[in-house]
Structure 1
Amino acid sequence: MYAAERHEAIAGAVREHGRVSVLDLAAQFDVTGETIRRDLAALERTGHVHRVHGGAVDPGLTTLDAGERPLTQRITEHSEAKIAIGIAAQQFLPTAGGSVFFDAGTTTYQAARALTDPRELTLATNALGIAATLAKLPAVNLHLIGGRLRGLTQASVGADTVAAIAKLRISVAFVGTNGLSARHGCSTPDPDEAAVKSAIVACANRVVVLADSSKFNSDELVSFAPLSEVDVIVTDSDADPADIARLTEQGIEVVTA
């Protein structure tokens, strides 16, 4: 299939279904995710689609429809990849006596679920669901960071949250992201969430970004960390080798689950 034919088919799918994903399109057309992202970029320039993290939507959708979706919807997307990433992230836990911050997000939630190590750790999070999961562990000292609760993500945000995080010195931070690109680093749709994520990155000795491959080569509204501030990226096995190579060239350790 020629690129023009693929573009026409993708545009038709967006018109019919309202939304398409990079992973589904790559499988459908038997091409790489990077090829599909180039296709979507070309279609966006001509006004046929609006790119969002992991795919594209009909440009006629409202900003709310096209942007960030509720946690209950996102938690089921790419669930197998996220579970695998959460398990792989356990290798970056600090030694006993260390501290870990779990950023809000569906992939960081899987990292919290996978934590069964009995070593004594101090854990912190600004996410209600993650806090509830970590609270079940017997040997941890858990801190739930307060602030204004954002219903869409069930996470604390705002000036009080940022100020509380800024006082911490964390061994390892598991950070989620909605977009990941070489030019803009890590990004997310909401400015308040971005401010919290920036504070988490700044307080951590080691930053481990947990992101499935659908987040690669996409940008959201607000950048919260350049790639120079990221030490490790844990992603899934569908990540494009070319993307991994570019990240590795920038000194980032990339682990595929």
Structure 2
Amino acid sequence: MNALEAAAVFAAGIGAGGINAVVGSGTLITFPTLVALGFPPVAANVSNNIGLVPGSVAGAYGYRAELAGQRDRLLRLAAASLTGAIIGAALLLGLPEKAFGVIVPVLIAVSLVLVVTQPRLNAWLAARREHAHPHGGPWLWAGVLAAGVYGGYFGAAQGIILIALLGIFLDEDLQRLNAAKNVLAALVNGVAAVLFTAVWLLGRTEVDWVAVLLIALGATVGGLLGAKIGRRLPPMVLRGVIVAVGLTAIVNLITD
């Protein structure tokens, strides 16, 4: 990796960390960047997942004020995220790389639809919150489990999926939901990263640690900035960038 490529990965990490803190689709910035630089898709996904963990933690820390009073709820939902992340990461490592090349373009396309439709989704969620179960209930736990499987396997826009689930089943302010989303997403990424690192130590998968470091540094900066100023970014511009990068990734994966 030359200096220009390293700068591109670092910049992508900043963007991904900021987007993850505010919206939740940062993988659609970093993963396509690595693929465009010639990384094999699975190696790019594993390296990207490990690198984004510090940014996820930084984003959760930036929302610490909104986490007040959510400890018991998050402990219950953390069990679902933990279980789902292990299943998703195991699927990524266990399925052939050809399957990843087929499945991921579909997941990216679904993620892009979620990014584009998020404003309407938020409005729909707001209309349903008055009917939400005070503790989320078993359906929320099951939904968070499924989101964890998705996040452990690939993870693009898992934050948007989590916001949708939390908004449907909980009667809470959107910022408090976003804070909870950041914690659960950080847990999924962290658990998957631990599993990927262990498998790498056994020689069963590839990890580019230079890319991991660059993404981690960038994502940490981006996560802290995103938690502070991300809400000021024009939503249409942000969504436009994500969609453009995501479509580029789909084309690269299909034509690879």
TM-score relative to the length of structure 2: 0.27
Which one has a larger percent helix, Structure 1 or Structure 2? 2
Q: Higher relative contact order at CA 8 Å, sep ≥6: structure 1 or structure 2?
A: 2
